[in-house]
Amino acid sequence: MNRKKYLLISFVIILSLSVILTGCGEKKSVDNSLNDIKEKGYFVVGLDDSFPPMGFRDNSGEIVGFDIDLAKAVAEKMGVDVKFQPVEWDGVVLSLKKGDIDVIWNGLTVTEEREENIDFSDAYLANRQAIIVGRDSEIKDRSDLKDKIVGIQMGSSSEKALASDDELTNSLKEVRKYSNNVEALLDLKAGRLEAVIVDEIVGRYYTAKKQDEYKILEDYLAEESYAVGVREEDDSFTEELNKILKEIKEDGTGKTISEKWFGEDILVK
């Protein structure tokens, strides 16, 4: 074998080994997100603490709600604690990506825009965007919102749903944006708004508590799903989260939590 041929074969062999070893190295790159959570001993939930019944503060200032109870149940089965960190909802995805929180768990709607930046757990609730008006309002459906002032929460799926309906948006007199739904509903009660667009689950909670003040129109803007927001790279943690959510749906834990807050089991099976 001449020297040039020998060198060429050696080069090919070395290059092949390099490719193989590089591939092996990639396969050995293990996601440690679940182990990291277990070593830390807790995961941090980012939420809007004024979003009943999913997560909000009760009269004593304690954070309570449906998602709060669900997150606690998951943490218990995972063998860790859970901490709740209120954040500005408009920047909640950034807080997750920066590592300030470990999950977004507060009536988070799955959207294409969010899926470009984060991953989601399996869906656990179905939802729609509802229109709330005053109890004595003559507004019957979205067509009656022409030339009206409507309120929404900044950064919410309600804002996205409204923005995707050009005909409705262009018919409105004004859209006012709020940091949370509580503020918007207070302005509706005070007459500074004529309607508020909000997640149906949240809207039904409010209207059930204050039937003399609000009502929901039987005209919905969008059908959606609620899921837990997680970092794209946290595969092992997300896998364990989905496994436990499935267990909770099947063993009656989720049913108990759902009945506590909604009077019935509304979890997506």
Q: What is the CATH number of the domain that holds 75?
A: 3.40.190.10
117 and 183, same structural domain? no
3-state SS, one letter per residue, for the chain? CCHHHHHHHHHHHHHHHHHHHHHHHHHCCCCCHHHHHHHHCEEEEEECCEECCCEEECCCCCEECHHHHHHHHHHHHHCCEEEEEECCHHHHHHHHHHCCCCEECCCCECCHHHHCCCEECCCCEEEEEEEEEECCCCCCCHHHHCCCEEEEECCCHHHHHHHCCHHHHHHCCEEEEECCHHHHHHHHHHCCCCEEEEEHHHHHHHHHHCCCCEEECCCCCCEEEECCEECCCCHHHHHHHHHHHHHHHHCCHHHHHHHHHHCCCCCCC
Residues spanned by the domain of 182: 128-223
120 lies in some domain: yes
23 lies in some domain: no
pLDDT tens, position by position, 12-47: 455 555 544 455 444 445 789 999 999 999 999 999
166 and 209, same structural domain? yes
16 lies in some domain: no
17 lies in some domain: no
Q: What is the pLDDT of residue 193?
A: 98
237 and 211, same structural domain? no
Q: What is the number of structural domains in the chain?
A: 2
pLDDT tens, position by position, 195-253: 999 999 888 888 888 889 999 999 999 888 999 999 999 999 999 999 999 999 999 99
Confidence band for 10, pLDDT divided at 50, 70 and 90: low
**pTM exceeds 0.75, yes or no:** no
217 and 135, same structural domain? yes
Q: What is the pLDDT of residue 58?
A: 94
Query: What percent of the chain is modeled with pLDDT above 70?
Result: 89
13 lies in some domain: no
209 and 136, same structural domain? yes
- In the predicted structure, residue 92 carries a pLDDT above the cut 60: yes
Q: What is the pLDDT of residue 35?
A: 95
237 and 116, same structural domain? yes
201 and 133, same structural domain? yes
